[in-house]
Amino acid sequence: MPLYLYEVMLPDGSGGEQFEVLQKMSDAALAEHPETGEPVRRVFGEPNAPRAWTDAHGKAAVSDKNLAQKGFTKYVKTGDGSYEKAVGTGPKQIRRK
């Protein structure tokens, strides 16, 4: 579930206190503060996405070695549009027919 950012709408139309709410994407946006009942609006915040996928120890979680240990197969696209296996089990090459 995404974390949405809301702010209280002040009487002059400006934004007041901001707070976050964990909601389903299918839920309607809040119209009032869940505790105080004041009018609110959803605001856009900066996305919070990791720059690199890491494990609990800060090591790259998508390294070829780690992928192979977890049972995944990684393919890399070649210049002719086919894919060659870089690590893991499976066919050495995948081609489009």
Instruction: Write the pLDDT tens digit of every residue in 49-95.
Output: 656 666 666 666 678 888 888 899 999 999 888 999 999 988 999 88
Domain boundaries, the chain: 3-43, 64-94
pTM: 0.48
- Provide the H-helix boundaries in the chain: 64-69
Query: How far, in whole angstroms, is CA 60 from its chain's centroid?
Result: 17
Return the closest-CA partner of residue 92 out of 71, 78, 66.
78
Percent of the chain with pLDDT over 70: 84
Residue 22: the pLDDT is 92
CB 7 within 8 A of CB 43: yes
